[in-house]
Amino acid sequence: MANVTVIGAQWGDEGKGKIVDWLASRADAVVRFQGGHNAGHTLVVGEKVYKLSLLPSGIVTGTLSLIGNGVVLDPWALKAEIEKLEGQGVEINGENFAIADNCPLILPLHRDLDGLREQAAGKGKIGTTGRGIGPAYEDKVGRRAIRVCDLDHLDDLAPQIDRLCAHHDALRAGFGQDPIDRDQLIADLREIAPFVLQYAQPVWKRLKKVRKAGARILFEGAQGVLLDVDHGTYPFVTSSNTVSGTAASGSGLGPNSTGFVLGIVKAYTTRVGSGPFPTELEDADGQRLGERGHEFGTVTGRQRRCGWFDAVLVRQTCAISGVTGIALTKLDVLDGFETVKICTGYRLDGKILDYLPSHAGDQARVEPIYEEMDGWQATTAGARSYADLPAQAIKYIQRVQELIETPVALVSTSPEREDTILVRDPFMD
Ligand code: GDP
Ligand code: IMO
Ligand code: MG
């Protein structure tokens, strides 16, 4: 298994960026395969903090970084992020960075629609990141999208723009909005086109070449399996498939290329935005998890909802995504709790469930069944080997892997890249 696929196994923000950055030095290429700049990945290397949304986390180590066709790409967000990282001393050029020329674009009209719908939904809103992700994916499957390769054919784009605008103008009219200014849209695309096109290429071909040469490929997922449009807490999900299988279709390689599937799992649970969350805590423990874990969204700055570890959910996401092993992150946030709880099952209408049912109403009503364990008073923060961990923390890790029926490959004990315990090297498997 030369390749590794990293996915979030909860509701996102599990620490994927940190783990991908740590693994990137062992890889020859890093590929983003779904999502867009709704993602927010924080990397801490010594004194430096990098915040990435669209760029693969491999870019910081200078590893070949590719944006696959499964991503929805906002060209203006891309430019801003590249300029920000270059300002931090990261080198990004045609050698170490490429974008699939068949990526659909996120346009300002997508962001408009995302915002209008959320505003109109009031209390029933999804709580999106407001980046236009949903509307952009809708236009992709609706066969109306403008794609990266179209930027090289702007003189022929009028019929496509007409079709796209006809669709959006009708929706906008429903919200009392003016139609799209087509001339302005084309002028904006003309201005940004050269910047994007300098990186555009058939990424599947680049991957074929590096794979043939024996390269180790690291696929970087965004969001988490519980936000997957099929398997997540629908409709409170994102608009892409976040499961490991998407690594292949979202980059242009076959299903046998995904290799070791590394599920990133926080030692407790968080969620941003609306939707069911069985183990959510609205008490002092929840507040403490949020404060110790600095649980504020990277993209929107929103406070993340916090709760105890839910083994039912992670057992389910590991199964759905074929997770080979997990990286357990933010263990240090549990330091000092007198007792810690793990959800091992749900109660619904007098029955006991060992899985999360599909219906949104049932998901909102399930009651967690907890197992309680003694916490640990010693610190795990900064630990780089099992020998540095208190016995009770090791017990917690063991109980987690037992309940989720999946082994632990890595443990993360601080935001810093090197504060990582390697149990089993995913690239060596
Ligand atoms: P991602 O979206 O999955 O990449 O995760 P985010 O970057 O949005 O959120 C994870 C946050 O936790 C970031 O601020 C990381 O710097 C931080 N982090 C990652 N691993 C650890 C860890 O083991 N311990 C602590 N305390 N923080 C961590
Ligand atoms: P990373 O990669 C956590 C959530 C939003 C909202 C729902 C739909 O940093 O883990 P969208 O804008 O995608 O239409 O919003 O999905 N969401 C995330 N939550 N981490 C993320 O990414 C997320 N990306 C989207 O909060 O509930
Ligand atoms: Mg994040």
Q: Give 293's strand partners.
A: none
pLDDT category of residue 416 using cuts at 50, 70 and 90: very high
Q: Which two tokens stand for residue 359?
A: 């219906």
Task: Give 365 Cα–ligand 1 centroid separation in angstroms.
Answer: 29
**Which atom of ligand 1 is the closest one to the Cα of 44?**
16
Q: Nearest 5°: phi and psi at 184?
A: -65, -40
Determine the pLDDT at residue 323. Answer: 98
Sign of the alpha-carbon torsion through 43, 49, 51, 57: negative
| Position in ligand 1 atom list of the atom nearest CA 20 | 4
Best probe residue, ligand 1, of 329, 331, 410, 422 (max atoms within 8 Å of C-beta): 329
Q: Are 103 and 148 in contact (CB under 8 A)?
A: yes
CB 58 within 8 A of CB 64: yes
Catalytic residue positions, numbered: 13, 41
Residue 116 CA to its chain's centroid (Å): 24
Residue 297: pLDDT band with limits 50, 70, 90? confident
Q: Provide, rounded to the nearest whole percent, the portion of the chain with pLDDT above 70.
A: 100
pLDDT tier, 428 (very low <50, low <70, confident <90, very high otherwise): confident
Pocket of ligand 2 from Cβ distances under 6 Å: 8, 11-13, 38-41, 126-129, 131, 133-134, 222-224, 227, 238-239, 272-273
| The predicted structure's pLDDT at residue 429 | 66
| H/E run at residue 420 | strand 420-422
User: Percent of the chain having pLDDT more than 90?
Assistant: 97
Per-residue buried b or exposed e for 274-298, using 16+ beta carbons within 10 Å of the residue's own CB: bbbbbbbbeeebbebbbebbebebb
Q: What is the mean pLDDT of the chain?
A: 97
For residues 346 and 331, what is the distance between their CA atoms, to the nearest angstrom? 24
Amino acid at 212: K
DSSP 352-395: EESS--S-HHHHHH-EEEEEEEE---S--TT--SGGGS-HHHHH
Could you tell me how many helices (H) and strands (E) the chain has, helices first?
A: 12, 18
Shortest-distance ligand to the CA of residue 236: 2
pLDDT digits (tens, 9 = 90+) for 109-159: 999 999 999 999 999 999 999 999 999 999 999 999 999 999 999 999 999
Q: Are 340 and 380 in contact (CB under 8 A)?
A: no
Nearest ligand to residue 45 Cα: 1
Mean per-residue pLDDT, 401-420: 97
In a 3-state reduction of DSSP, which class is residue 45? Answer: strand
Q: Which two tokens stand for residue 43?
A: 């990397």
Burial class (CB in 10 A: 0-12, 13-18, 19+), 226: buried
Distance between CA atoms of residues 420 and 121, nearest Å: 42
Q: What does the pLDDT read at residue 133?
A: 98
pLDDT value of position 1 = 54
pLDDT at 175: 97
Residues around ligand 3, an ion, CB closer than 5 A: 13, 40, 298
Burial status of residue 324 (CB atoms within 10 A of its CB: 0-12, 13-18, 19 or more): buried
Q: Which of 18, 38, 231, 237 to mutate to test the pocket of ligand 2 (most atoms within 8 A of CB)?
A: 38
Question: Which pLDDT band holds residue 68 (cuts at 50, 70, 90)?
Answer: very high
Query: How many CB atoms are closer than 10 A to CB 192?
Result: 16
Averaged pLDDT, 189-213: 97
- Burial of 138-150, coded b for 16+ CB within 10 Å and e otherwise, reads ebbeeebbbbbeb
Task: Please give the pLDDT value at position 313.
Answer: 98
pLDDT 10s digits, 13-66: 999 999 999 999 999 999 999 999 999 999 999 999 999 999 999 999 999 999
Closest to 324 in 3D by CA, of 398, 252, 265: 265
Question: How many beta carbons lie within 10 A of that of residue 212, not counting itself?
Answer: 8
CA 15 from centroid of its chain's CA atoms: 9
From 12-26, 210-224, 251-265, 291-305, the region with the lowest mean pLDDT: 291-305
38 φ, ψ (degrees, to nearest 5): -75, -20
For residue 19, give the ligand nearest its CA: 1
Give me the phi and psi of 5, to 5 degrees please: -115, 120
User: How many whole angstroms separate alpha carbon 168 and alpha carbon 164?
Assistant: 6
Binning pLDDT at 50, 70 and 90, where does residue 166 land?
very high
Nearest partner of 329 among 302, 309, 348, judged by Cα: 309
pLDDT recorded at residue 302: 87
Instruction: Note whether 17 and 49 are within 8 A (CB).
Output: no
**For 178-200, what is the mean pLDDT?**
97
CA distances from 115 to 110, 119, 132, 144, 237 (A): 9, 6, 8, 20, 16
- Structure tokens belonging to residue 349: 């209408």
CA distance 375 to 285: 13
Tokens 């999502």 belong to 35
| Tokens 């549990």 sit on residue | 334
Å from CA of 155 to ligand 3 middle:
38
